[in-house]
Amino acid sequence: MEAPVERAPSRPVNSMSPVGEWTIKIIFFIYSLLCIFPILLLIMVSLSNESDVIIHGYKFIPSKIDFSAYKFVFSDWESIARAYGVSLFVTIVGTILSLIVMALYAYPISRPDFPQRKFFTFFVFFTMLFNGGLVPWYLVYVRLLQMKDSIWSLILPLVMSAFFVLIIRTFFSTTIPSAIIESAKIDGAGEMRIFFRIVLPLSLPVLATVALFSTLNYWNDWFLSLVFITKEDHYSLQYVMYKTLTNIQYLTQHSDAIAHIGGTTKFPSETVRMAMAVVGIGPIIFAYPFFQKYFVKGLTVGAVKG
């Protein structure tokens, strides 16, 4: 009787050779370095001396550590802290509100049994092609809604995005199985319960993606403060930085007139610009790991097991 032949364990179909695996790791490592190097250069230039940057240019290792740029930025630390609070409030509240509004709009137009789905889909798509212009947009918020110098004028204009609504709609219609919704209806669940207990937990990947972009839109916005806000208490962080850089640029261009009246003509420009960028990107960097956790969780929770 012949002894059974032992076979080497077969490699899984979706496995990769060690060479290919290390090649992909090296590629992503190089790509990560290319993303990290600009941030490191930003920090190093902000810690450099202004005259050294002007003479020798940007360097990863400054010849001398100088905190003059940060001293200049935080010379009026109360306005910076107040602007931080405004930006954090606007970003958090605006992101949550925009997700709720866009998901509530996208869900009905994703259902094939909704009679007016074509009309409302065309209605939101039409706003991507045409708009009333800056003046009617301004009059709606100032004259009609009375939002001049209101914190809500920094939130409501960015709440609705037609592009994000169509993305969420497409995810709902292509990823959420209709059999799950039908079985929930058979069990007696209403539309709101189906939406909040079934649809939203299965849609965490797209919601996290839209939330990330909404967070970036709110945090980086300075135009709404320029248009609607005249009180310094409601200035956003980005607008405070924009205003400071504009003032520095003006004073630098008119240095002769300032010297004539006896004022100083030495204003840090390059290092202050980098220091403001470091101050501005601080909180948003910590948002990426937060959303990354929900990306992974959404991929596992949203999986439909056979």
Q: Could you give the domains of the chain?
A: 68-301 (1.10.3720.10)
CA-based R_g, the chain, Å = 27
**Residues 248-256: contacts with CB under 8 Å, at least 24 apart:** 248/272
Q: Each residue's pLDDT tens digit in the chain (306 positions)?
A: 455 555 555 555 556 777 878 888 899 889 888 888 888 888 888 888 777 777 777 778 877 787 877 888 787 778 888 888 888 899 999 999 999 999 999 988 888 888 888 888 888 888 888 877 888 888 888 888 888 888 898 999 999 888 889 888 888 888 887 888 888 888 787 888 888 888 888 888 888 888 888 888 898 888 988 888 888 888 888 888 888 878 777 766 766 555 554 555 556 677 787 888 888 887 777 777 766 666 555 444 444 443
- What tokens appear for 165 in the block? 């609504």
- What tokens appear for 70 in the block? 């940060």
d(CA 197, CA 185): 12
Say whether pTM exceeds 0.85.
no
Task: Specify the residue for token string 């920090």.
Answer: 43
